Amino acid sequence: MPVDGPVPWERADHTGAKHDIYRRYLKRWFPILLDGAKPYRSVTYAEGFAGPGIYVGGHPGSPIIALQALVDEVTNTSSLVKMLFVDDEPRCIKMLNEQFRSRFPVRPRTPDTLWSKVTLGTCIEKLESALDEMDSWGQPILAVLDSWGNVPVTYRLLKRLADNLSSEVIITLGTQPFIRFVSKMGSDADEVFGGDPTWRALSDLPSGAAKRQHILTCYRQTLQRAGFKFLLDFELIDTRGESLYLVFGTNHRRGLEKMKDSAWEVDRVYGVGFRDPRDEQAEALFELTEPALAPLGRLLLIRLKSGPAAGMRIESLREFALFETVYRPEHVIRTLRELRSQGLIDSDGQALTRSSIVRATP
Ligand SMILES: C[S@@+](CC[C@H](N)C(=O)[O-])C[C@H]1O[C@@H](n2cnc3c(N)ncnc32)[C@H](O)[C@@H]1O
């Protein structure tokens, strides 16, 4: 959908926070794949909704952030890095090419070790075919699918990415287009959810919050069905309450850990908090410096109450936090200490360590 207004546009606060997370993740992703003991022969970084590479005020867009992370972090000069950028707005494509030229006046890698393609067209028409042409499949691909929130991407592409070696997706989804236009949206919208129309049941839900949760749950399930074993999904919320839902899909525990570290390290200057869409009280997860652990406490209590009566080892609750929540394993013991001081759980000894057993009090 071509841009209505001027190009470039203002950077929203949650976009600043999103870029900070991308930057931190890419500074980990490129070296893990390229500078390890056994570097991959090639890796592809691909964006289906690249934008113009710049915002009002000169802030860099995601394509520039990605190339800069490669330049700053990777020492391996022999593997091939393929970078692909698609956008259906001619002004964005023109400006993105200009941005690459002006921000990287000297080619950062040789033509044999860096292929870069900037293409005009829709993500559906161009992204998958360009990945074919660049012979990207069979080696890792990170696909960033950052649309205006409507995710016009084929389910087939998601499945192919999930099946491909060490490949991951970062997707932004806005719930508003689906909630507002459900009755007008045709089969294209079902395709976003892998052809499953269950998302349309939102019309029967009583509140805006319930509708939002329903869409997010349906989308999470779509990515799981497509084949991504691990998902990290959260909403970035700025000071005006505007939210952006970000989903990361991977098949590697390390990828999940690194993305989680990147999200928790996001610079607080953006004034943006994040929220676990699974928390029924929709509480933001950090205020300036301290993470709010109450939502994790609620999730751990639910887990303990549905687990064995004899209780659960803290190590398994740390795994639960890593795989099933937006929290890090490091948050678990602090949270359990607080639950115990409130009398909501008890433990097999005074010290709480990874091997301790805790149970919900009756
Ligand atoms: C949210 S912006 C991308 C911002 C960019 N990823 C960044 O962070 O700097 C969305 C972009 O998607 C483009 N776009 C919208 N619909 C599209 C489609 N179906 N296919 C390709 N590009 C599309 C718009 O022109 C716009 O540049």
Q: Using one digit for the tens of pLDDT, what is the confidence trace for 42-90?
A: 999 999 999 999 999 999 999 999 999 999 999 999 999 999 999 999 9
Between the CA of 115 and the centroid of ligand 1 the distance, in Å, is 21
The predicted pLDDT at position 279 comes to: 75
CA atoms within 13 A on the CB side of 248: 26
The predicted pLDDT at position 286 comes to: 62
The predicted pLDDT at position 288 comes to: 47
If you take atom 2 of ligand 1, which residue's CA is the nearest one?
51
Q: For helices 13-34 and 253-264, what crossing angle results, to 10°?
A: 140
Where do you find CATH 1.10.10.10 in the chain?
Answer: 293-360
Between the CA of 344 and the centroid of ligand 1 the distance, in Å, is 47
Between the CA of 17 and the centroid of ligand 1 the distance, in Å, is 17
CB-CB contact of 71 with 111 (8 Å): no
Whether ligand 1 lies within 6 angstroms of the CB of 89 is answered as yes
Give CA–CA dist 313/309, Å, rounded: 12
CATH architecture for residues 13-287: 3-Layer(aba) Sandwich (3.40)
The predicted pLDDT at position 289 comes to: 57
Prior bond to 8 cis, omega within 30? yes
> What would the CATH number be for the domain defined by 293-360?
1.10.10.10
The predicted pLDDT at position 241 comes to: 75
The predicted pLDDT at position 80 comes to: 98
Q: Other CB atoms closer than 10 Å to residue 343's CB: what's the count?
A: 8
The predicted pLDDT at position 129 comes to: 98
- Atom number, ligand 1, closest to the C-alpha of residue 147: 10
Give CA–CA dist 20/39, Å, rounded: 26
Q: For helices 155-163 and 123-133, what crossing angle results, to 10°?
A: 30
Whether ligand 1 lies within 6 angstroms of the CB of 177 is answered as no
- Atom number, ligand 1, closest to the C-alpha of residue 2: 25
Q: For helices 314-324 and 294-306, what crossing angle results, to 10°?
A: 120
Where do you find CATH 3.40.50 in the chain?
Answer: 13-287
Mutate to test the pocket of ligand 1, among 88, 119, 236 (most ligand atoms within 8 A of CB): 88
Residues of the chain with pLDDT under 70: 1, 284-290
- Nearest Cα to 148, choosing from 123, 168, 130, 184? 123
Q: Label residues 183-222 b or e (16+ Cβ within 10 Å = b).
A: eebeeebbbbbbeeeebbebeeeeeeeebbbbbbebbbbb
Report CA 320 to chain centroid distance, whole Å.
19
**E strand segments, the chain:** 42-47, 80-87, 114-120, 141-145, 168-173, 230-237, 243-250, 273-275, 286-287, 290-291, 312-313, 345-347, 357-360
